[in-house]
Amino acid sequence: MSYDELLVEAEHSGLVVKEKPFKFYDGRIKGKNIAIRQDIPTLKKKTCILAEEIGHYYTNTMDILDQGQVMNRKLERAGRLWAYNKLIGLSGIIQGYRARCKNRCELAECLGVTEEFLQDALNCYKEKYGIMTEIDGYVIMFEPSLAVIEKM
């Protein structure tokens, strides 16, 4: 999903997205207003940040800046998981397999996300599913390294 597609989704949800000259944040949400740092270097990174902020809108309504609180960390993770599922998901990993992506760099490029975002998503999926999971006739292995096996 592209940045522009996310902007359309945000608009359909009644969200207002503006770019701001932040120094300490890449993105913030307050109510139905999302602010994205205007000088983010790549569109891929900007897409990942916008997806996370939209994810926070759908998964919580609280101020979670204080990550010293356990509940805030859980809510942060929920917003990120929403973004991972929106931009990658298990189906995206399979899409990369079908596109013959040979490594994580190629997979990130195929999915239009940063390598860091992809790695964070894979770590999250490994925590959620364990070392492997099955979906739609495929086995996705997260250990010892990412692999997709088509079941016969």
pLDDT of residue 62: 62
Q: How far apart are CA 152 and CA 52, in angstroms?
A: 36
Confidence check: pLDDT of 65 > 70: no
The structural architecture, per CATH, of the domain 1-87 is: Orthogonal Bundle (1.10)
Average pLDDT of every residue of the chain: 91
Each residue's pLDDT tens digit, 86-96: 999 999 999 99
Confidence check: pLDDT of 6 > 80: yes
* Domain spans of the chain, in order of start: 1-87, 89-152
> What is the identity of the amino acid at 95?
Q
Which of the four pLDDT bands, split at 50, 70 and 90, describes residue 63? Answer: low
Q: Which of 35, 76, 41 is nearest to 59 (CA)?
A: 76
